[in-house]
Amino acid sequence: MAGENSSQVIDSSLSEINGIGCGCAGCQSGPKTAYVDMTSGDVIDGGMDYAPSQTWTKEDFESYLSEGYWQATGRSERQWGGDTPHVTYNISNEYASNDAQGIRDAFDAWSEMANITFSEVGSGADIRILEGDGALTAYSSYSTYGGSGDIVSDTHAQASHVISVNMYIDDGGTTTRTSGPTYGQDMSEYGDYAKSTIIHEIGHSLGFGHTGNYNGSATYSSDATAYNDTGQYSIMSYFGETNYGGANFYGSEASTPMLMDIYAVQQKYGANMTTRTGDTTYGFNSNAGGAYDFNNHSWVPVIAIWDAGGTDTLDFSGYSNNQIINLNEGTFSNAGQGKGNIAIAYGATIENAVGGTGQDTIYGNEVVNSIWGGDGNDTVYGSIGSDTIDGQGGTGDVITYSYDISAFLVSLVNSVTLTLEHIAGAWTDTISNIENFIFSGVEYTFAEMQQFDSGLGDIAFSFETGTGNYVYTSTSSSDPVTLTAAGMNYNSGSGDIFAISRTDTTLTVNVANTSAKNFSMWADDGNDQISVTGTHASLSITFYGKEGDDTLTIASTVVGNDIISMQDGDDTVNASGGNDRIWGGAGEDTIYGEAGNDTVYGGADDDTIYGDNFARTGVTGNDSLSGEAGNDSIYGGDGDDWIWGGADDDVLAGDAGNDTIYGGNGVDQIWGGAGDDRLYGDNLNAGGGDGADTIYGNDGNDVISAGGGDDTVYGGNDIDYIYGGAGQDNLQGQEGADHLYGGADNDTMSGGNGNDHMDGEDGNDIIYGNAGDDIIAGGAGTDTIYGDNINRTDTIGNDTIYAGLGADTVYGGAGTDTIYGDLKNGNASDGDDILYGDAGNDVLVGNGGEDQLYGGTGNDSLWGGNDNDIFEGGAGSDVIQGGNGTDLVIYDNETSGVNVNLGSYYGIDGGGGYDTLASIENVRGSNHTDTIVGSADANTIWGQNGQDTLYGSYGSDTVYGGAGNDIIYGDIQSGTAWDGDDVLYGNAGNDILSGSGGNDTLEGGAGTDTLWGGTGADTFVFELGSVDGVWDFSTGQGDRLDLSNILDGFYTNPGSQAITDFVQITDNGFHSTVSVDQNGGGDNFVQVATLYNVTGLTDEAALESGGTLIV
């Protein structure tokens, strides 16, 4: 929405913030609407370079609405106080009755969503709704307090809340559209912009900003941060729904808070769990009323539904359009002409759906649904839960499942109805008037579904124990069946279905007829031992166990595609060849899939699953093995297996073949074995084995050993340990503080986010540190290292290292290394890096940021780049280029004195190395006897220990002598004095300081120092404990004596304290003595300086008032 006022003052006066429709040209024209033929499949691109760069989640929306907007605009978060706030409002009598009622409905719309209530009062209201001052204007204004009446910035931490809001909304002005409702005319009309406006403004009064950093006017292409910053997701957005995802309201506006508004207000105030707790119908035939009754809408309805309980229904039966109904929370449906115009709030459960007369698409959810398609050829997507689905009219209705048909037991009810019982999930769908069924992409007609009917067919047998004899009955003629106490022979004819229901604990079935195709058995309660023997090449066995610890063994000579469901108990299954489907059910089961492409589900408890029989060689199959709940052990065997550990702590082994293994939840141990495997896990210990494996750690603290082969490993979240092993591996730490070890060969490693530790080990590795403070070791080989916020890099070999973003610390290690402190994708970026070349002739490039570059041994090249850098070349003849900024070269670690001349661009280190210096402004010498000369720049020079000779040279320099008897010149270059306002510090030792030209400051420090100011108005600074000699003091040149370091804190009140009690200057006719009594007693003076060849300075007060004496 556009056109809001944006000034804010947090004080006792109301401040105008956050409204819509200020009367600008954009607002007067109404919301911008694009009309797109949604059935044509066209993509219409306006050619704009869009500003959005991400798609927001519900958490992103909530954070920005509640906090981010206020922070981005320099304000504080706000909300009404109390556990269940009650807020009063007053509506100006200037509003027409229909508009006043629309305002009341808007307050109710928010209150239905969250634990905040509103009531209308005559005066003294918390919120006042006032007539605006122009056509199509709307804005709100706040004042806030923090509990005692004081005006403060309201944040959660201060527990403050809004105490008054003025809301100005004008009801004048109408723009008539060619389609859609009128714009800004009637606040009571659903779909009208005026109704949307008042809901938006109340949203501000509840403490919500806009969904982007805009106010008053904005465009999607320039101001939207998120792609889905549109009115479809939030009524607080300025931007039309057509900007994202194919949504289109065809001119209508929202009549309720939208999907993300509901989530945000419930996070702030809590969900209102009293809203529509009964059985509610939304849409047509509605008992909800208001915006939720589609008969109340003249145009396309635009609503979001919050429902707190009951068995509820979405009824779109009144429309003939091809609609989409989605019963899942947090999704959008297409009602009538609209696209994405109906939303179901997060946390709301809607059970039932009624389609219209068009060709509708309906998605169920994971509760018990009743779905009616209506007329037209509809498509229904089934989900878990025992649903009742009726296609009703139409001759081409379709229901789609993601499961294979073998996952169900099919039972024909009548000529139009069947049931589908999901074997593993314990739910049953009842389906009527559906013509086509799709299971995992395979389509069947209703007639074709009858072949899967799980009825027993023509022959039924029952067996009873007692005296050792079996009794059976037959419902039709068949080949003879021979029964004995010891077992039975099955000699049924070709294609017949033979079934056994039995109660004895031990049964052996000998298959003697090789023409039979299907065989079914049902166990009873008890610990059954059932064996199937004989020889058969294609007999499909169906077995249903019950309670008890059952054992089913099918001989390897009886081959077929079996369906085995063991149910409760600690069961054992020894399957045979063929593509079997096996469910372990509850209990600690042991399952052998044997040969063939088997599908096995362990079920609850701690199961052991073998895709193949490990006791027999040459047995293989591409198996799908799922442990489900429990601490399972799963072994794929030979073949390309798919393994899912499911919940809890599993042990998973793919063995030979190209396996895909998912650990699921829990702390899992995964081994891929031989072959090119893909391993996924949360909290896993994984081994890839030989082959080119792909391993995904996902959540949890994982330990992953990729093994041999060229492996790819993704650590996922949390703290992972990844070992590449042999082969050219690609190791990705991703989130968390990971430890990556490349192993042998040429590896590629990326730490991702977090403070990672990476070691390339052997081979020519490429290492990316990415975000976080990383420690990187390239290891042996010629490595290339890129890092963001690297703590340390130790490498062996000729490495190239790109530290990347952040403040990095990089060690090149042995070899000739090239290190870039801040180079990423060819662009320099700021980061205060520390780079160590160590041994070898290294190249160190700092680029942006205040970097420290240490060359180490060897003839190094050091390049600082931008900002203020520090260089230490170390042993060898180094080239040091400071670049932009004020740069410092240091010689702290030299074993003897250095000779440095910045003006002549060289420095000779203590080991005889000849350094070339360019764009270096400052020098710090060694702890020995140094000679240092500055340049034309304003230099800072430190002599440190030793008897140094230091020259400031041109410019206004600062020079520190350090310990030792130093000689310091402020402005002498090649024997010539230059004007420059220098600051010279002698520090410890008996120093000689010579300012030369310019207005210099000389401070001798400890020791008996000799000071020469030279020409210019110089300042001589003294301290207790030493007596300095000044040889050219002259009041005529404006020289000054500075005793402030001594008297600071003592001589504090010149009006009542006599300067002569603190300072005494006497002369002997030739020279003057400067003495100080620090306590001001006038009787304990201590000499601090001698002014040679100076007399007549005995009027201390006059010297102070004239500025010559600084105290």
| Residue 928 backbone class (left: φ over 0; alpha: ψ -120 to 50; beta: rest) | beta
Residue 390, helix vs strand vs coil: strand
Residue 64, helix vs strand vs coil: helix
Nearest to 986, CA basis, from 1018, 953, 1020 = 1020
Residue 201 designated active-site:
yes
CA separation, residue 364 to residues 307, 323, 367 (Å): 17, 14, 8
CA distance linking residue 554 with residue 502, whole number of Å: 17
CA angle 477, 482, 484 (to 5 degrees): 145
CA separation, residue 346 to residues 230, 331, 365, 405 (Å): 18, 9, 13, 32
CA distance linking residue 1024 with residue 265, whole number of Å: 70
Q: Which of 201, 351, 761, 850 is catalytic?
A: 201
CA distance linking residue 498 with residue 154, whole number of Å: 77
The residue assigned the tokens 């809301």 is 167
Run of H or E residues at 680: strand 678-680
Nearest to 739, CA basis, from 723, 718, 721 = 721
Q: What tokens does 653 get?
A: 């082994």
CA distance linking residue 647 with residue 598, whole number of Å: 21
CA distance linking residue 322 with residue 625, whole number of Å: 40
Instruction: Please write down the long-range contacts of 365-374, taking CB distance under 8 Å and 24 or more positions apart.
Output: 365/327, 365/328, 365/329, 369/327, 370/313, 373/397, 373/433, 374/317
Beta pairing, strands 694-696 & 518-522: unpaired
Run of H or E residues at 61: helix 58-63
Radius of gyration (C-alpha) of the chain in whole angstroms: 43
Cα torsion angle, 260, 262, 267, 268, sign: positive
| Contact yes or no for 216/5 (Cβ under 8 A) | yes
Encode 426-482 in three state secondary structure.
CEEEEEECCCEEEECCEEEEHHHHHHHECCCCCCCCCCCCCCCCCCCCCCCCCCCCE
CA 500 from centroid of its chain's CA atoms: 57
CA angle 698, 700, 702 (to 5 degrees): 85
CA separation, residue 438 to residues 358, 581, 871 (Å): 21, 19, 72
| Contact yes or no for 442/448 (Cβ under 8 A) | no
Q: What tokens does 982 get?
A: 């220098």
CB proximity list for 200: less than 8 A, separation 6 or greater: 1, 20, 138, 235, 236
Q: Hey, which bits of 336-407 come out as E strands?
A: 342-344, 352-354, 361-363, 370-372, 379-381, 388-390, 398-401
For every residue of 905-969, DSSP letters joined together read TEEE-TTS-EEEEES--EEE--SS--EEE--SS--EEE--SS--EEE--SSS-EEE--SS--EEE
| Contact yes or no for 272/221 (Cβ under 8 A) | no
Q: In degrees rounded to 5, what are phi and psi of residue 611?
A: -65, -35
CA 661 from centroid of its chain's CA atoms: 25
Q: What tokens does 352 get?
A: 């039932």
**b/e code 610-648 from CB counts within 10 Å (16+ = b):** bbbbeeeeebbbbbbbbbbbbbbbbbbbbbbbbbbbbeb
By annotation, the residues acting in catalysis are 201
